[in-house]
Chains A and B, each alone.
Chain A
Amino acid sequence: MPRTLLLLFILIASAFKTEDDRWVCENGIISFVSDAPLEKITARTEQLRGLIEPSKKTFAFSVPVTSFEGFNSELQREHFNENYMESNIHPQATFTGKIVEDVDFSKEGSHQVRAKGELNLHGVKKERIIGATIQVKENSFTVTSDFKVLLNDHKIAIPRIVHQKISEEINVKIEARFKKKGAKTQ
């Protein structure tokens, strides 16, 4: 019995320890551009959530698909959600994995890193290595990245005709400011 208690104590202690090392982002910005010859579609959301644990070098991002705003019409937004992304079945897009490089988050300045993980979009997972920049400041750091998503990779089917108006390659941009968990937001 004392042994179990001890084990429990150690577990709780270690949990508290990692808690100290968690950095979170509550309202990151993610935007995308579909640049087809016939039409340019842009959309963005500020509901990107992120978590980075420097000690384990792990990260996790997620965004509710329905939160994207923009588009050229409300109807287009509806088709994006219901027909192409099928957000009723796959409401979230996520990217989780590990940062390849070692980053000293205590040192101010800019770090080029590569994030290796699984991009889950439209319920279809794809292993990706995505380059990103981490700008470390006092008490916070900012992650920015540009990358491309191929519709085909994630089995996002666009019907004929409208297909001509949507690019096969979607450019995605993220900007997320991370703060230490528990730290007060300014």
Chain B
Amino acid sequence: MRVPLLLLFLSLSVGAVCQQLMLRELSFSALPGNTELTRGRQDASGLMWIASNKGLYRYDGSQLHPVSLPALKNPDELSHLSLSSDGKLLVGSVNGKVWCQLKPGRDDFHLDSISSRTSGHRITGIYSSASDLIAAATYGAGLFIRSGNNFSHHGDTTLLASNDCYVLCPISADEFWVGSDAGITRFGTSWPVRARGKIKSTEGLKDDLVFCIVPAGTGRIAVGTHSGGVQLWDIKSASFFDQEFPGTGQHAVRSIRFFGKECLIALEDAGLHRYAEDGRHLARESERSVTSLFSDREDNIWVFSRGNPVLFASLRLSQYRLEFLKEQEKRVLALLNIGDEIWLSSADGLFRLRNGTAAPMIREEGLRFICLYHDRQGYIWAGTFDKGVFRIDARTGKYTRFTEKDGLVNNNVLSVHGQGDTIWFATLGGLSSCSISGAQVRFFNSNLQKQVGQVYIYSIFADSEGKLWIGTDGKGLACYDKELKWYREPFRHGAIYTIAEDWKGHIWIGTSTSGAWELRHGSFARRTEEEGEVTHIRRAGHDMMAVMHQNRLELYFSEDSVSLSFGEGSGFFFGPPDINALCNEGSRFWIPGENGLIRLDLPETRDKLRPQLLLENVLLYLEPLKEVPSSLSYEDNYLAFDYTGFWYRQPDAVSYRVRLAGLDQEWKETRDTRFIFNDLRPGNYTFEVQAGLYNNFTNASSVSVPFHIDAPWWWKWWFWVLAVLVVAGLGVLFIRIRDARQQELAALEHEKVTFKLETLRSQVNPHFLFNSFNTLQSLIETAPVQASHYVEQLSDFFRHLILLRDKNEIPLKDELALLENYTFLQRQRFGSQFDVRITIPEEYENHHVPPMVLQLLVENALKHNTLSRTEPLIIHVYIDEEKRCLVISNPVRKKFGAVEGTGMGLDNIASRVRLLGNGEMEVNSNEHTFEVRLPLGQQTEHTAG
């Protein structure tokens, strides 16, 4: 059985330059020993999950992270991964446990209650709808279905007719298929779940042991069996196509993946094969016995095989190894494709690659083909350096050479383009042309050729309107449309490498030094962000232009651009390819690469060209939040965001930019997957993150998280109103107190002045002087010694008076000294009719009193009372220790007809005492005694004195 298959593969690969996927091994560090990665799946968030014999891992492109599943027993081997209809991961184990992910992108799983039924049996398929209906296929116990708390079972006694299920595949929203030992059973998806019918040998199924059921493009289902190979089911006609995939029937089919017009089929013990959808065998991609295939949303294929590392490749890239070229001559000079047939030139010659073989077409020493063109008549024109141009019959390979002798203007031909029956040649000697009628080729000197003149022409292009565009080196761009028009600027410096027309009919120009330009409304606008070399511009598919830069291919959809990467293993051979060494048909490109010729199938939609972005966590003080509350307290202002962009083809190409709207408007570009904001002020914010490739964010996927940080209570409006009121109140109070104080001071000043006036008036009153002089006269006569003493006392008195009158308060001892002066003077006059008795303990001598108060009070007493020798007027001055006041008391003996004082004396003293702030002066007067009590002021600091 196996011999014919091997022979078949041999015949296909002899001398082959077959186009193979660029499979590479994924290496994961720090995996426990004996871990076998068995299958993979991407959930709706874009995160990749990988099952093993040791449990489940999540893979973000850089590392495998183990994920704990509830009730997973070590070493519980996982046997199944699939997705629910709402994009959550479903996990099954070899002993019957079924887990469901709670939310795509998260590590939280719950053990489904269906596990109680499936326990002990290998899970081979799980179906789950959004309406809480779950079906689990087992190997050994049939199919179990749960909806809410209702369970049902299908097995060997029902239409399923077997307890050994191999596969379960959702076909549409209302149907899933189960493959078992007894063919395919079709089930509905609404409760109660019923079997709808069978697909067996009677329906054309070649083998009833169904191992794989896979959607195969629109309207088709691929079915792989144990010994019947791969078959395609047409949903519309409900029957199998006649289509065969030769060689697949000899081995059990383990896995199938369709992509575009090709598919990958994994055969047990016979490796991984690529077939065209029409059944042609294209390549044997791997020798390994593959157990599981998975293709992700970026169109990468993940190949799992027991005991081997995971193989990985982009389904959009495949390559021919150009081993037929000599080692030194591997540089591709020119490329042309006619469908899938490739014409390729290197210094080694011109080759045709067809059906997996390379055939040399023209080989000659020193001959270098630098451009290739396929004309309408089916001929290939090949321009050379110095050797003219060749016209090759693509069918027979016969060729004719045309040189300067035949009328070609120059033997260096850099570009060829046909327009009707005319073929134009771009040469290092100007424009050349020939006309074709049947097999006749006639070179002619056109008028246009003369007008263009002798220039180096790099590129020539006839657009859809019949205009001819000519790109030169240093002379600019020329356009011929009835007459010749030159665009010297902006192409004066450098050469025009490439000319193309976009879907709107606009002309694009790629230059050697100034990037790519688009002619819009008669003037050129630069389309590339930077200057530099643009070697190729091609229309790729419906509304996409591909621009080849020095290190990347950039795609333009209408106004904006998307960068496309060529990572390790697909990087360009010697920098960007030579200007004629790239060809395409629609979105399929052939580009010389590091190890051969790369075929690149561009995705038609831009969402295939961006990483998926997942916001993994929002952290508050580095503690993950379950959910982001709409409002955070003012203290919760240290926030971090964890995000990851998934781009499995080249994880290191992912770059991010973040912005916190509300804080700043500028994007910050970063490679980190965590961004921290601390000490955020209260306010409204929106965290925005975008994931792009190679710092190109025009097509980025983005996530935004709005949140609000509350103001603290002292930032609320009512607090501010309160605060303003309090401050205003305090201000008013302060102003009032200050005013009162100023009034008091003014009053004190006034009292002082009045008092001064009063004392001066009384002391220097003429009576006092007159009396004093009388006394003095009498003394001079009677006791001259006493008289001189009197004069001394008098002058002492006046000196004290002058010294003290300006002060607010003085120590009591100074006041007493003054009083003694005064008493002495008056006693000389009144003799023993009057006396002042002072009893002040020494510790009170430093207390303060207003100046001249005692003298004034004594004078008052003398003025208002009669004096006699029998009843002398005794004035007592003492301290009331209890009340801390100075008391001046005298007996009352009213003088008749005594002069009434102005009354100002006592009032004045009282107000002065009050203003000094020592308390109130008391005046107690009755029939017998008159008593004035003065509160004592502060003590003088001894140190100061």
Q: Which positions in A face B, CB cutoff 8 Å?
A: 38-39, 73-76, 78-79, 82-83, 157, 159-162, 164-165
Residues of chain A within 8 A (CB-CB) of B580 are 161
CB distance B494 to A159 under 8 Å? yes
Q: A79-B473, A83-B474, A159-B497 are in contact. List 10 more A-B contacts (CB 8 A).
A: A38-B368, A39-B386, A73-B429, A75-B454, A75-B456, A76-B428, A159-B495, A160-B497, A160-B512, A160-B578
What's the minimum C-beta distance from B492 to chain A, rounded to whole angstroms? 10
Within 8 Å of chain A (Cβ to Cβ): is B162?
no
Q: Mark B368-397, 1 if CB is under 8 A from A, else 0.
A: 101000000000000001100000000000
Complex: A74 Cα to B495 Cα, angstroms: 19
Residues of chain B within 8 A (CB-CB) of A82 are 474
Residues of chain B within 8 A (CB-CB) of A74 are 454
What's the minimum C-beta distance from A72 to chain B, rounded to whole angstroms? 10
Q: Which of B477-519 contact A (CB under 8 A)?
A: 494-495, 497, 512-513
CB distance A38 to B579 under 8 Å? no
29 examples of A-B residue contacts, CB within 8 angstroms: A38-B385, A38-B386, A39-B386, A74-B454, A75-B428, A75-B429, A75-B456, A76-B428, A78-B454, A79-B456, A83-B474, A83-B494, A157-B494, A157-B512, A157-B513, A159-B473, A159-B494, A159-B497, A159-B512, A160-B495, A160-B497, A160-B579, A161-B370, A161-B414, A161-B458, A161-B580, A162-B428, A162-B473, A165-B385
Residues of chain B within 8 A (CB-CB) of A39 are 385-386
Residues of chain A within 8 A (CB-CB) of B836 are none
CB distance A160 to B474 under 8 Å? no
Within 8 Å of chain A (Cβ to Cβ): is B20?
no
What's the minimum C-beta distance from A123 to chain B, rounded to whole angstroms? 14
Residues of chain A within 8 A (CB-CB) of B458 are 159, 161
Residues of chain B within 8 A (CB-CB) of A157 are 494, 512-513
Nearest A residue to B455 via CB reads: A75
Complex: A78 Cα to B429 Cα, angstroms: 12
Residues of chain A within 8 A (CB-CB) of B370 are 161
Residues of chain A within 8 A (CB-CB) of B455 are 75
Within 8 Å of chain A (Cβ to Cβ): is B699?
no
Nearest A residue to B334 via CB reads: A161
Given A161-B579, A165-B385, is A79 in contact with B414 using a C-beta cutoff of 8 Å?
no
Complex: A73 Cα to B386 Cα, angstroms: 13
Residues of chain B within 8 A (CB-CB) of A78 are 454
In this complex, how many residues of chain B approach chain A with their Cβ under 8 Å: the count is 22
Complex: A74 Cα to B456 Cα, angstroms: 12
Picked from A38, A76, A83, A161, the residue with its CB within 8 Å of the CB of B578 is A161
Within 8 Å of chain A (Cβ to Cβ): is B535?
yes
Complex: A164 Cα to B578 Cα, angstroms: 11
What's the minimum C-beta distance from B326 to chain A, rounded to whole angstroms? 15
What's the minimum C-beta distance from B340 to chain A, rounded to whole angstroms? 27
Nearest A residue to B575 via CB reads: A160
Nearest A residue to B368 via CB reads: A38
What's the minimum C-beta distance from B547 to chain A, rounded to whole angstroms? 16
Residues of chain A within 8 A (CB-CB) of B414 are 161
- How many pairs of residues, A versus B, come closer than 8 Å at their CB atoms? 50
Complex: A76 Cα to B412 Cα, angstroms: 12
> Could you tell me the dominant secondary structure of chain B's interface residues?
loop
Residues of chain B within 8 A (CB-CB) of A73 are 429
Residues of chain B within 8 A (CB-CB) of A75 are 428-429, 454-456
What's the minimum C-beta distance from A167 to chain B, rounded to whole angstroms? 15
Nearest B residue to A165 via CB reads: B385
Nearest B residue to A82 via CB reads: B474
Residues of chain A within 8 A (CB-CB) of B474 are 79, 82-83
Nearest A residue to B535 via CB reads: A160
Complex: A75 Cα to B410 Cα, angstroms: 11
Q: Which of A39, A76, A162 has the most CB of B within 10 A?
A: A162
Complex: A6 Cα to B580 Cα, angstroms: 74
Complex: A160 Cα to B454 Cα, angstroms: 19
What's the minimum C-beta distance from A142 to chain B, rounded to whole angstroms? 38
Given A39-B386, A161-B370, is A83 in contact with B513 using a C-beta cutoff of 8 Å?
no
Complex: A165 Cα to B412 Cα, angstroms: 11
Residues of chain B within 8 A (CB-CB) of A164 are 368, 385
What's the minimum C-beta distance from B898 to chain A, rounded to whole angstroms? 113
Q: Which of B406-425 contact A (CB under 8 A)?
A: 414
What's the minimum C-beta distance from B916 to chain A, rounded to whole angstroms? 90
- List 8 tightest A-B contacts by C-beta distance, closest first: A159-B495, A83-B474, A159-B512, A75-B454, A160-B579, A38-B385, A82-B474, A83-B473
Complex: A85 Cα to B497 Cα, angstroms: 20
What's the minimum C-beta distance from A126 to chain B, rounded to whole angstroms? 21
Residues of chain A within 8 A (CB-CB) of B494 are 83, 157, 159
Complex: A105 Cα to B369 Cα, angstroms: 56
Complex: A39 Cα to B495 Cα, angstroms: 20
Complex: A39 Cα to B513 Cα, angstroms: 24
Complex: A3 Cα to B594 Cα, angstroms: 78
Residues of chain B within 8 A (CB-CB) of A38 are 368, 385-386
Complex: A79 Cα to B474 Cα, angstroms: 8
Nearest B residue to A74 via CB reads: B454
Residues of chain B within 8 A (CB-CB) of A79 are 456, 473-474
Q: Which of B455, B495, B579 has the most CB of A within 10 A?
A: B495
What's the minimum C-beta distance from A124 to chain B, rounded to whole angstroms? 16
Q: Mark B433-473, 1 if CB is under 8 A from A, else 0.
A: 00000000000000000000011101000000000000001
What's the minimum C-beta distance from B348 to chain A, rounded to whole angstroms? 14
Complex: A79 Cα to B493 Cα, angstroms: 12
Residues of chain B within 8 A (CB-CB) of A161 are 370, 414, 458, 578-580
What's the minimum C-beta distance from B468 to chain A, rounded to whole angstroms? 20
What's the minimum C-beta distance from B84 to chain A, rounded to whole angstroms? 54
Q: Which of B719-775 contact A (CB under 8 A)?
A: none
Complex: A76 Cα to B512 Cα, angstroms: 18
Residues of chain A within 8 A (CB-CB) of B513 are 157
Q: Which of A74, A75, A76 has the most CB of B within 10 A?
A: A75
Residues of chain A within 8 A (CB-CB) of B368 are 38, 164
Residues of chain B within 8 A (CB-CB) of A165 are 385
Complex: A26 Cα to B385 Cα, angstroms: 40
Q: Which of A73, A82, A164 has the most CB of B within 10 A?
A: A164
